[in-house]
Amino acid sequence: MGKPKALKEWASAVKALEDGTQIFIMRKGGIVEETKDFQVESADFFLYPTYEHQRKELLKEDYRGVIDESLNGWSAEDTHVTISSYARMVEDIEVSDQEQLNKLYPYHIWTENFTEERLKWKRKNPLHIMLLRVYTWVQPLQIPIEHAYIGCKSWIELGAAIPEESSLVPVLSNEEFAARVAEIKRTLA
């Protein structure tokens, strides 16, 4: 068995996943993806928060303060990262047109400009809407930042052991999560 995978995501989006504000992320790929396109490398993964490229103007007004909160106590010179959540992808929905993407607007923290930019980048490729069942760790993990984690790529392999599942607490109840998934799927139908 290989090293556990982590998906890199803005710290503000990780926070929205951890508090149940949203249950999906949007992916096209990092600038230096090995395959040049985004691929789902694992259905179970750590959520690795990133800080440097977050932009307030790409979050809806009500969520812009989350960036400041996420940066509180963070430094580019940090030697460790705190990982406080784990996700299981329940579905990967590919979206290729703006009309479909606009239907998802009430269900996430990003502005229309952000979602348009994501969709238009690498236009021939669909945007992945990854529906995630998110769990928080009873005790957040502190792991050393390795050189391999640096850079604009979506997936990294962590040099950390996966704690036992008994250490995971679901963000949403089974019923609430199922209802949110069903609502999103109805919206896109």
User: 7-47 pLDDT, tens per residue?
Assistant: 999 999 999 999 999 999 998 755 554 455 667 777 899 99
The tokens describing 175, both together, are 């019923």
Q: HEC profile for 2-53?
A: CCCEEEEEEHHHHHHHHCCCCCEEEECCCCCCCCCCCCCCCCEEEEEEECCC
163 vs 7 pLDDT, higher one:
7
Four-point Cα dihedral 49, 52, 57, 61, nearest 10: 40
- pTM for the model: 0.88
Name the pLDDT band for 136 (thresholds 50, 70, 90): very high
* Per-residue model confidence as pLDDT tens digits over 176-186: 999 999 999 99
The tokens describing 11, both together, are 């710290």
Question: Is the predicted pLDDT of residue 173 greater than 80, yes or no?
Answer: yes
Name the pLDDT band for 2 (thresholds 50, 70, 90): low
Give the range of the structural domain holding residue 45, as residue numbers without chain letter: 5-188
Sign of the dihedral through C-alpha 54, 133, 73, 69: positive
Name the pLDDT band for 158 (thresholds 50, 70, 90): confident
Residue indicated by tokens 């579905």: 91
Measure the CA–CA gap between 179 and 19, rounded to whole angstroms: 16
Span 67-95, mean pLDDT?
Answer: 85
Q: Which residues contact 68 (CB under 8 A, 6 or more apart)?
A: none
Residue indicated by tokens 């106590």: 73
| Whether the Cβ atoms of residue 6 and residue 47 lie closer than 8 Å to each other | yes
Measure the CA–CA gap between 74 and 47, rounded to whole angstroms: 17
The DSSP 8-state label assigned to residue 146 in this structure reads P
29 vs 148 pLDDT, higher one:
148
* Per-residue model confidence as pLDDT tens digits over 64-74: 888 878 777 77
CATH number for the domain including 183? 2.30.130.30
Span 108-130, mean pLDDT?
Answer: 83
With 0-12 / 13-18 / 19 or more C-beta atoms within 10 angstroms meaning exposed / middle / buried, residue 50 is middle
With 0-12 / 13-18 / 19 or more C-beta atoms within 10 angstroms meaning exposed / middle / buried, residue 180 is middle
> What is the number of domains present in the chain?
1
| Whether the Cβ atoms of residue 146 and residue 3 lie closer than 8 Å to each other | no
